[in-house]
Amino acid sequence: MKRLLAIALSLAVIALTCGAALAAELPRTDAPRYKVAFYQSPHYHEQDEDGVRSGYGYDLMQDIAKNSQLSFSFVGYDKTPKECEQMLRDGKLDLYTAAKHTPEREAEFSFSKRPAITAKTCMSMKRGNDRIVPGEYDTYQGATVGLLRNHTYNQDFLDFAREEGLEFNIRYFEDATSLADALIKEQVDILVDSYIRVPDDEVVLETFGETPYYFMARTEDQGLLDQIDAAIDRMNVATPNWRSDLYDKHYGAQSLLLELTEDERQYLAQLQKRSTVIRAAMGPDKRPYSWFENGQPHGIVADMFAAAAEALGLEHQVVPASTRAEYRQMVEDGSVDLWLDVVGDQEGTDEPFYRVTSPYLQTTLSILRLNDSSGKISRVGLVRNNTEFKRIVAATWPDAEIVMLESTQECKEQLLGGGVDAAMMRSYRAEDLANDDARGRFRVDVVPNSSLALRMGVNASCDYRFFSIWDKTLANVAATQGAQITQSYLEQSMDLSLTAFLYRNPALLACVASCVLVLVFVTVLLVLNYRRRIRQQEAAAQLERALDEVRRSNVLLEEARDLAESASNAKTSFLFNMSHDIRTPMNAIIGFRDLLEKNQEDPAKRDDYLKKIEAASNVLLSIINNVLEMARIERGNLSVEEVACRAEQFNDALFSIFDELMTQKGLTFTRQINVEHHCVFCDPTKLREIFANILSNAYKYTEPGGTVHMELREAPCDRPGWTLYRTTITDTGIGMAPEFLPHIFEEFSREHNTTDAKIEGTGLGMPIVKRLVDLLEGTIEVTSEKGQGTTFVVTIPHRIASEDDLVALERAQFDPQLFQGKRILLAEDNDLNAEIAVELLTEAGFQVERALDGAACVDMLTAAEAGYYDLVLMDIQMPNMNGYQAARAIRGLEDSGKSCIKIVAMTANAFEEDKREALKSGMDGHLAKPVDVQELVRTLTVALSPDASPED
C-alpha cells in the first residue's frame, strides 16, 4: 500500500482541460440559503482569527449541502448557545444543529429524525490518581464526586452507587467548566459529565449511556428538517462510515494508556528490588525484525523488548542464537522467560506453554520472486515451523507445493537456483532481502489479505502478574514508540550501496560510461586539432595561398562551431533546469509522502500533505507533457482535426478553466467577444493548448492585484468562405526584457529559471505554441515591457461553418444500475495499475477478472461462455501479446457473440496516433492513463449503451 499511497495520490486532477468544447447548458435549480447557529464550541464550532470556520458541526453542514438542494450561512459565533436558541425563536436563525430533546423545546420546536451527533455520560477521574483503581469498586468508597446540577444522567449514577453499595460525598456544580477545574485542583476525586470526546488527562471509570443531539427548527420549517433527514439517509448509503470519519477528524480517538493495579505495582517493586533479569529468545535471521551482530541483538523486535523492559525498570537480555535450530531449542525447552516473535495467536499451545500477549506489531506477508519471473506459482518456499504461513499459502495458492527451508537466506538461494518459484515471508524481511541484493534480481509482491500480528509469549511458569504487567506495558510501548522504532529500521533497509544502485539503474550506468567515452573522444579531437594547427603554422611561410583558403575555411568552421555551441548551451541549460524542475516536485512528493506516513492520525496535516502531493504531481505531469509534446512536434506526428464549433462556447470553456485560478490568486480576469461569424471549423484541442499556454504564463507571471484580459475579434479575410479570428491576451505581469523577446519561441529558452522566478517550467511552452500556430497557418505576435506586462496577438484562419454543421456532443449520463452485475475482463500486466483499476471498477458496481497479458485475455474470453463478459479493458504494452494484437485476435474469433464484445483501450499510450491505432485494431474506445474517474465512467457508460458506436 505504500507504493499505492505514493502513486495513487498523482492520478486525480488531470483531465479537467480535456472536456468537450461544446455542451448543453447545465440545468439550474434554486438552492435556498438558511441561517445556521454557529456558536463557539471546541471541536464542534471553531473559527480562526481570519474568519475561517471548521469543526464537526461546520463540516456536517457542508456534507448535507453536497447531498441536498440546500445552502447555508453561519451566524452567531459571538453568541452563547442559549442566545442562539432565542435567535431561532425570534426568526433570526433557521436551524440549530445540536439540540437535546426536552419537553419545553418539543412544545415550540420541531426536531429531525436523524441525530447530528451523540455524546456519552462518563464517570471519570484525573489521570495519575493512585488511590482509585478502575474496576476495583472498594477503592471508590468514600470518594468525593462532582455532579452538574440537574444533569440528565445524575439518576443513573445514583442508581449505580446504590446497586454496588457505594457511598460517595457529592458536590454539585453549576457548569462544566467549574466541574472540570474542581477535578484538576483535586477538589473532587471523581466527576460525572457528558462528553463527545473524553479529555486525555482523565481516565474513564464507568459510562451510563448516550445522549443524541438533533437538528432543531421552528415548527413551520418542518420541510427543512425533512430535507436534512433525506440528505443524511443519502450519506448513509453513499459513505456509511461518514460519522466515524467526521468524529475522528475533529475529536480523534481517546489516548488512554493501560495502568497497573496496586497488586501489580507491588509485584513489580519486588522484581526491581531483586534486580530481576528478563531472558528472551528471538529469531536470528529475520532482518529487519530480529538478528544478531557480534552477539548483540538488533531489529524491531529487539528494540520493542528493550523499550518495554526499560519502561518497567527491569534488566533484560536477549540470549544469542547463531542458528534457527538453536533459537527453536531455547523456545521449546522453556529456558527463556519470553518468546519475542510469536506469529498470530495460535503459537505456543504445545508444551512448554506460553501465554500470548496482545499484538505489538501488525505486518503483512509478501512473496519474493525473481524480477523476470512470470506465470503460475507452483512451488512456494517457507521457513520451517511457520504454521500460519502454511495456512495462507494453502488459501492463496491451493495447488502449489510447499517447500520447507531452514532460513530466509536459503529461500533466496533456492529462488536463484530454481528450486522454488516464490518464497513467502514477512513484508519487511522480503524488502530487506531485495534491497540487499546488489544486482537487483528480486521483486516483492504483497500477498492479498495477509495481515499478520506479531506478539510475545510469556512462559507459563512465570507469575500471572508478570504476564499482566508485561502485556500492558508492551501495549503502551507499541502505542507510543512502535511507529518510530519500525520506521527507523525501514529507513535503514531502504539505503542502497553504490554497487546496488548502479545494478538497479543500468541506464544511468550506461549514461555515465557514454559521457566518459564522449569526453575522451572530444579530448582526442581537441589534441588532434591542436597538432593540425601547429603544422599549419609551421607551413604558413611556404603555403601562403593555401593559408588564405584555410583561414576562410576556419571562419566557416568557427561559425558552425558557434552555432553548435549555442545549441549545446541551450540544451545544457535546458537539462540543468529540467533536472532542477523535475527534482523540485519529486522532492515535494517524496517528502510529503514520508510526512504523511508519520502523521496518519493527524487529519489536518494529512489533508495538507495530500493537497501538496497533488499540486506537485500536477506540476511534474505538466513538465513531462510539454517535453513529450515537443518530441511529437519534432517527429512531425501532428495533424489538424477540425470540427464545427461555436466561438462563444469554446471561449466559455477556456475562460472557466482559468477564472477560478486567477480569482484565487487575486487577479482580475476579463474577456470580450466581437465576431460576425459565430460558427467555424477548428481544431479545439490545439487551440486550447495554444491559449492555455499563454494564459498559464499570464497567470504565473502576474502578481496578485494585477489584471489579465482576453479579447476575441473577427478580422477581414480576403479568402472566400473563410474568416480570421484574432485573439489578444494582455496581462500586467512582470514583462520581459527587450533582449529576450527575439528568443521567446526558441526551444529550451527561458528568461528566468525556477530558482530565480520560483515558477516551474521547461522553456517549451512558447515553442509549442509557435509550432501549433504555424500548423494552423496562423500568426503570433508578442510585445512586452519589463515591469509593465505582456501582450500576445494570435491570428488564426477558420472555414466558416453553419448551424447545421454543429454537432451536439451528448454526454452519456451515468446510471448506477447500468453497471450492476456487469463483468469486465481487465487485461493489465502491471500489478499496481491492475489494483487501482479493479478498485475503481468494483466501486462503480462491476465484477472484474484480470488477465496478465494479451494472450491470456484472448484465452479467457475464448474459454468463457458467450455473454459471460460484457466488456474488455485492454492495456497496450503487455508481454506475449500486446493490446493491438489481442484486439485483432478477438475480432477474428469465429463465435460472433465473443468477437463483437466491446473493447476499450486503457493505456499510457496517450497520443492521438495511439488512439487512432486502437480504433484501427478494432477497439471501441480509448482511455489515457492516468485514468480520470469521471472520464472512465463516461466511456464505460457509452460503451455499454445498446446503441453505442466506436468513440461516441
* Rg of the Cα atoms in the chain: 36
Q: Which of 35-39, 40-44, 325-329, 353-357 has the highest mean pLDDT?
A: 35-39
Cβ-contact 906, 912 below 8 angstroms: no
CA distances from 874 to 203, 859, 902 (A): 57, 14, 10
Instruction: Tell me the per-residue pLDDT of 87-109, one tens digit each, with 9 for 90 and over.
Output: 999 999 999 998 988 889 999 99
pLDDT at 346: 46
SS3 label, residue 203 = strand
205-209, 246-250, 399-403, 557-561: which has the highest mean pLDDT? 399-403
pLDDT confidence of residue 741: 84
Instruction: Pick 353 or 313 by higher pLDDT.
Output: 313
Whether 326 and 407 have beta carbons less than 8 Å apart is answered as: no
Flag whether pLDDT at 631 surpasses 50: yes
* pLDDT of res. 768: 83
**pLDDT band, very low/low/confident/very high, at 555 (cuts 50, 70, 90):** confident
pLDDT digits (tens, 9 = 90+) for 151-195: 767 888 888 888 889 999 999 998 878 888 899 889 999 998 877
Collapsed DSSP state (helix, strand, coil) of residue 874: strand
Q: What is the pLDDT of residue 256?
A: 42
Q: Give the pLDDT of residue 809.
A: 39
Classify strands 190-195 and 109-126 as parallel, antiparallel or unpaired. antiparallel
Q: Give residue 656's pLDDT.
A: 74
**Comparing 449 with 498, which gets the higher pLDDT?**
449
Measured between alpha carbons, how far is 303 from 486 in angstroms, rounded to an integer? 9
**Across 28-32, average pLDDT:** 80
* Contact call for residues 791 and 813 (beta carbons, < 8 A): no
Band of residue 572 on the pLDDT scale cut at 50, 70, 90: low
Backbone CA torsion sign across 923, 925, 930, 934: negative
C-alpha cell at 236: 448513509
Residue 447 CA: distances (Å) to CA of 158, 395, 558, 810, 831: 54, 11, 64, 43, 12
pLDDT of residue 601: 80
pLDDT at 466: 92
Among the residue ranges 282-291, 680-689, 806-815, the one predicted with the least confidence is 806-815
CA 133/CA 136 separation, integer angstroms? 6
Question: CA 455 → CA 221, 344, 392, 462, distances in Å?
Answer: 57, 7, 18, 17
Determine what percent of the chain is predicted with pLDDT higher than 70. 79
Identify which has the larger pLDDT, 526 or 927. Answer: 927
Task: For residue 795, give Cα distances in angstroms to 674, 770, 774.
Answer: 14, 12, 10
Q: Which of these, 420, 409, 260, 278, lies nearest to 337 by C-alpha position?
A: 278
**Phi (first) and psi of residue 251, to 5 degrees:** -115, -30
Q: What is the pLDDT of residues 787-839, one digit of tens each?
A: 899 999 999 999 999 888 775 434 444 566 778 888 999 999 988 888 988 98
Candidates 209, 217, 196; CA nearest to 153 is: 209
Question: Are 748 and 573 a contacting pair, CB within 8 Å?
Answer: yes
Q: What is the pLDDT of residue 789?
A: 93
Name the more confident of 897 and 724: 724
For the ranges 56-60, 239-243, 766-770, the one whose mean pLDDT is highest: 56-60
Average pLDDT over the chain, rounded to whole? 80
692 with 657: CB under 8 angstroms? yes
- Per-residue pLDDT reduced to its tens digit, 79-89: 999 999 999 99
926 has which bridge partners?
A: 905
- The arithmetic mean of pLDDT across residues 386-399, rounded, is 80
Using the predicted structure, report yes or no on whether residue 242 has a pLDDT greater than 50.
yes
pLDDT score of 424: 87
Which candidate, 385, 514, 503, 369, places its Cα nearest to that of 440? 503
